[in-house]
Structures are given as structure tokens and as C-alpha cells.
Amino acid sequence: MPIVPLVGHAELRERLASARSRGSLPASLLFQGPRGVGKQRLALWLARTLLCDAGTIDGCGRCPSCRFELQHPDLHWFFPRPRLKDSDPDLDDVVGDYGEAVAEGAADAGLYAAPGGSEAIYIATVRAIVQQASRTPAIAKRKVFI
């Protein structure tokens, strides 16, 4: 399922692509701005760019990494979710919950709805992120966390 195309941000995309080609892209980035400006789409665009085997700016669309889109095993996408019913959920349950949520987002062209107030990134989610970050990438040269 392809993600929603990124419109705009041409100068920023050019700067990020240039930094990637020079090997000077920071290890972490924070996209901040008002609601609806495309932060989520920009992060997904950058993930696709970083995971593409061909190394093209917008992803080649042909390599295995590009065909995976949101289900890429080295793309880890976390966003505010409702608290799981268990007070101390197993990390596999947390990862499974996010897997289902990303699949739902993929059905909506790669977007998740803005949190309503009861959603958050809870401690169990942070533990799952740390656990996944400690593993080596599955098929790409790197992992990308959003």
C-alpha cells in the first residue's frame, strides 16, 4: 500500500537528501510544526529514502525495500495509542498492537488520526522501542524509527 505522497517541503527535502548523500544526516531528527503541515508524511518520505536499496531521493519504487512501504521490517513507526488493558503488557503485545495500527494506517494511505486525548506513548512502548533498536536490521542497512 503506497503512502500518501508528500507535497511541498521542497527545500527541506533537498537539504535532507543532500545530507544523506554526503553521509552527514543526523542520527535523529525532530519534525515540529503546526497540525496538518505534513510532518508525518515528511518522516515517512525520509524513511523511504533511507531504506531504498537504490539510494534515490524519492525511493526507486522497484527494490524490495520500496515495495514493503509501511510493512518494511526495518521501519518502526510509533505514535500515540490507547493504553493496553494489561497494566504491564508483554513487549510482544505492544509490538503486535502497533503492527495492527500501522496496518490500519496503511489502509488509510499511510496516515494515523490525531490523538484524541486518551492516547499516548506509554512506558511499555518505550521498552519495545529500546528492544527493537538493539536488534540488527532485517534487510536494510539501517533501521528507521518514526
Q: What is the pLDDT of residues 30-54, one digit of tens each?
A: 999 888 888 888 888 888 888 888 7
Phi first, then psi: what are they for 107, rounded to 5°?
Answer: -65, -25
Q: 126 or 84, which is more confident? A: 126
Contacts of 121 (CB under 8 A, 6+ apart): 78, 79, 80, 81
Q: What is the pLDDT of residues 48-92, one digit of tens each?
A: 888 888 777 777 778 878 777 777 889 888 888 888 887 778 888
1 pLDDT tier (thresholds 50, 70, 90): very low
With a pLDDT cut of 90, the percent of the chain lying above it is: 18
Q: Say what the pLDDT of residue 110 is.
A: 61
* pTM assigned to the model: 0.81
Q: How far apart are CA 92 and CA 132, in angstroms?
A: 11
